[in-house]
Amino acid sequence: MLGLLVLTPILAGVIAYLLDNRASKLILYIFQFLYAGLAFFIFLNVKENGPIVWNVGGYTDGLALSLYADAISIFMVLMTAVFYIAFLIYATRETYFKGRFYFLFMTLQGLMMGLFLSSDLFNIFVFLEVSTVVVAILIMYNKEKQAIYDGMIYFFVNVIGTAFLLFGIGMLYRTFGLLDIRAIKESMTLLDGPRAVVLPYGMMMVTVSLKTAVTPLFSWLPKAHGTPSAPPVVSAVLSGLYIKSGVYMFIRFNDMFSPVIDMHVFFFWIGFFTSLVGFIMALGQKDIKLILAYHTVSQIGLIMMGLNMASEIAFWGAVYHIFNHAIFKSTLFLTAGMIYDEYGTRNVYKIRGLFKRMPWVAVATTFAILGITGAPFFNGSISKYMIAHGTYDYGVTLLLNIINLGTMMSFIKYSTMLFGNNPKEGHAKTDRFALVASVSMGIASFFTGIFGEALTQFLFNYEVHVNVEEYIQKGMVYVLMIVAGIAFYHGIVKHGGLITRIGHLELTFNGIITAMAGYFIVIVTYLSLII
Amino acid sequence: MKPLDFITGEIVGILLFFIGLYGLMTKKTIVKTIMSMSIMESGIFLFYITINYTSGSVPPIGQDLSGVNYVDPVPSALMITAIVIGIGVTAIGLTMFMHYKQKHGITHWSRNRNQTGSEH
């Protein structure tokens, strides 16, 4: 049953590629709806009866290659399957939406499912490597000079990162003679001390941190997600869904090492710095795609903070934020694609009057912006509320508020596009399919906020009660934040200077690899100090 | 213990891995990057196939295994997959590089991203 989830998208892609005519689009839509239905069915099944294991070839569990679905993994699968419907609808009329693209796009879906479901370390390596290839080809799909350069950086950096994972797996196999995540977790408890797994932990965390793009390893992300000529759908998939596979692996691997290694303090601070650096660099950009790409870095940092607070509510808040971030960041990338197609520029200072020129696109963008900044009643507010509840420490609350302020500032800059005068007369012609997809995703960010309590209960079996008084208080803080954000924007950000210069700092290819080696050394040193 | 006993497959594998990493950190030519990547991967392959090897053990294929030490076949099987993937990755890397060089004549990693190119 679980094998179908991984295999069928690839098969559907192949069939659509071979047909390559009008019927193939129809086949893809029908398939995707059925597929989301299947994912939902398995989701309900897991919710009712607990985790499902699927062993290949009937070998005993732990030795066989296996797919494993528990609450988190099946949730990621469901999320990916549902979002792909919106992406396919968005792309219906686009020029690049042809045979080769179907194949790569659907294959990527299958590979992501494999990453979410696989319980075998070596299979995870294979899925990572193959998905790197697919993503690199999707990035350079238009064969433009900048896109090829960015795609090459993405490709080489990630292949080298995955080599670290392979080496780490080898060391683990040397110690345990096992490759199954759950089996290794069980045998971890039999170790005399954590010394034997320090090196493999370091190696594997380098790969995972590279995939999640935390400081200092995020330099490839803006290149890959914000490359000018990549189709908007590709950017949306990368920023909304694919980056989450890294976060997911972080959860899985940390859970695997949890009997002997606890690094949550380290990764909490890494998450904070990632968030800080992410929004500071986002402030320095003027290309709308790059603003969004750097902002993904910042939000991933927030998710990492939530995951590493060592409290249950913050953990589930972070998982819910994975879902919310997928909604609003996909919406923003999709609408950004329509905006720069219409205006012919990506410069945030040159695009004005979106509400007059493209009203519905502007509405979708507004919903997404309200979601990402955590406005009351929108989804971002619920997950940020949950993350903020993970701590009673004023210092940590302050850190979270700094990040919120940063988010606010960069999106006030982004939302200047919405207002102002219409550059031309009348409304722009927009593609109806693309519009429906992005507006429905925008509205989803409102409904997932209103029904936040019910959704967390339904998706994760985790009950959260939003305290009304506190929520109103947060709403007032939100208004204050807007005022402060506007003041900062007009006072500092608009004039550029230092902040623009910071925004243009970036590592070269050799710099990224050196950062990777340095990160590895830091993790191993830190670990040897605390154990 | 003779000094040569230190030179086991695992140690050499680890050394090769870090030599490859050094090449990646310092060389700015794209071809050298691809070569360093291959060196790094060979190090990993060597590490895997010598995991827990004791001298005198036999491969577990086509012979009577009673009473003899035989090698763990799993790492070798994994490495067949990994080598195939490695070849594929190297080929794709070289293809990208050749395309890039022939179209735009660039052979080195540049210092900075071409910011002017992002204006559509």
Q: How confident is the model at residue B116 (pLDDT cuts 50, 70, 90)?
A: very low
Picking from A281, A496, A239, A296, the residue whose alpha carbon sits closest to that of residue B113 is A281
Query: Has residue A185 been placed in a domain?
Result: yes
Residue B91 lies in a domain: yes
The count of domains in chain B is 1
Read off the CATH number of the domain in which B34 is found.
Answer: 1.10.287.3510
Is the pLDDT at B114 greater than 70, yes or no? no
Query: Are the beta carbons of A447 and A340 closer than 8 angstroms?
Result: no
**Residue at A270 is within a domain:** no
Q: Answer yes or no: do A73 and A134 share one domain.
A: no
Tell if the CB–CB gap between B118 and A146 is shorter than 8 Å: yes
- Residue A175 and residue A91 in one domain: no
Q: Measured between beta carbons, which residues in chain A are less than 8 angstroms from residue B118? A: 146, 228, 287, 289-290, 346
Contact A152 B100 (CB under 8 A): yes
Residue A248 has pLDDT above 50, yes or no: yes
pLDDT at B117: 42
Closest residue of B to A141, CA-based? Answer: B96
User: For residue A71, what are the domain limits?
Assistant: 1-119
Cis amide prior to B75 (ω within 30 degrees) = no
| pLDDT range class, residue A169, cuts 50, 70, 90 | very high
Instruction: Name every chain B residue with its beta carbon within 8 A of the beta carbon of A145.
Output: 103-104, 114, 117
Tally DSSP H helices, then E strands, for chain A: 23, 2
Is the residue at B64 inside a domain?
no
Q: Are residues A447 and A422 in the same domain?
A: yes
Give B44-88 pLDDT, tens digit per residue.
999 998 887 777 788 888 777 777 888 888 898 999 999 999 999
CA distance B98 to A323: 40
- pLDDT band at B112; cut points 50, 70, 90: low
- A477-531 pLDDT, tens digit each: 889 989 988 888 888 777 767 888 888 888 889 999 999 999 999 999 999 998 8
Domain co-membership, A112 together with A132 = no
- Is residue B79 in a domain? yes
State pLDDT tens for residues A24-65: 889 999 999 999 999 999 999 999 998 999 888 888 888 888
Average pLDDT, chain A: 90
Q: Look at residue A278 and tell me if it is in a domain.
A: no
Residue of chain B minimizing CA distance to A178: B74
| β-pair partners for A69 | A52
The answer to whether position A52 is within a domain reads: yes
Contacts of B97 in chain A (CB under 8 A): 152
- CA–CA distance, A462 with A8 (Å, rounded to integer): 31
Identify whether residues A163 and A25 lie together within a single domain. Answer: no
First and final C-alpha spacing in chain A: 42
Task: Verify whether the Cβ–Cβ distance A160 to B97 is below 8 Å.
Answer: no
Cβ separation B52–A174 shorter than 8 A: yes
Output A111 or A227, whichever has higher pLDDT: A111
A437 shares a domain with A337: yes
Residue of A125, A143, A149, A520 to mutate, interface with B, max B Cβ within 10 Å: A149
The total domain count for chain A is 3
For B51-65, b where at least 16 C-beta lie within 10 A, e where not — what string?
A: beeeeeeeeeeeeee
Contacts for A460 with CB less than 8 Å, ≥ 6 apart: A71, A72, A75, A316, A319, A320
CA distance A125 to A105: 20
Partners of residue A504 in chain B, C-beta under 8 Å: 112, 115
Q: Which of B75, B89, B103 sits opposite A133 (nearest CB)?
A: B89
Radius of gyration (C-alpha) of chain A in whole angstroms = 22
Does residue A93 sit in the same domain as residue A111?
yes
The verdict on residue B120 lying in a domain is no
Establish if B81 belongs to a structural domain. Answer: yes
Are A110 and A32 contained in the same domain? yes
Helix (DSSP H) and strand (DSSP E) numbers for chain B: 3, 0
Asked if the structure places residue B78 within a domain, the reply is yes
Question: Of the residues A75, A93, A119, which one is the last residue of a structural domain?
Answer: A119
Q: Which tens digit of pLDDT belongs to each residue from A341-358?
A: 888 888 888 888 888 888
Residue A243 lies in a domain: yes
Chain B environment of A167 (Cβ under 8 Å): 17, 44, 47
Place B115 in a pLDDT band, splitting at 50, 70 and 90: very low
* Residue where a domain stops, chosen among A119, A151, A176: A119
Contact A113, A77 (CB under 8 A): yes
Q: Are B117 and A146 in contact (CB under 8 A)?
A: yes
Per-residue pLDDT band at A12 (split at 50, 70, 90): very high
Here the tokens at position A293 are: 């790409």
Most confident listed range (A188-197, A239-248, A443-452): A239-248
The answer to whether B118 contacts A151, with C-beta atoms less than 8 Å apart, is no
Residue A357 lies in a domain: yes
Residues A340 and A436 in one domain: yes
Q: Considering the domain boundaries, does residue B85 fall inside one?
A: yes
Question: In angstroms, what separates the C-alpha of B120 from chain A's closest C-alpha?
Answer: 6
Q: Which residue of A has its CA nearest to B77?
A: A122
Residues A175 and A252 in one domain: yes
Residues A427, A478, single domain; the answer is yes
Cross-chain residue pair B25–A177, CB shorter than 8 Å: no
The confidence score (pLDDT) of residue B44 equals 94
Contact yes or no for B118 and A223 at CB 8 A? no
Claim to verify: residue A385 and residue A241 sit in the same structural domain: no
Q: List, in order, residues 6 or more apart from A216 with CB less than 8 Å away.
A: A507, A515, A518, A519
Domain region containing B46: 9-53+71-107
A167/B109 CB distance under 8 A: no
Q: Does A302 reside within a domain? A: no
Residue A132 has pLDDT above 60, yes or no: yes
B contact test, residue of A152, A180, A292 with most B CBs within 10 A: A152
Interface contact A151-B96, CB threshold 8 A: yes
Test A513 with B24 for CB contact under 8 angstroms: yes
Which one of B33, B103, B120 has the shortest CB-CB distance to A346?
A: B120
Name the 3-class secondary structure at B18: helix
Among all residues of chain B, which has the CA nearest to that of A506? Answer: B112
Query: Per the domain annotation, does A293 fall within a domain?
Result: no
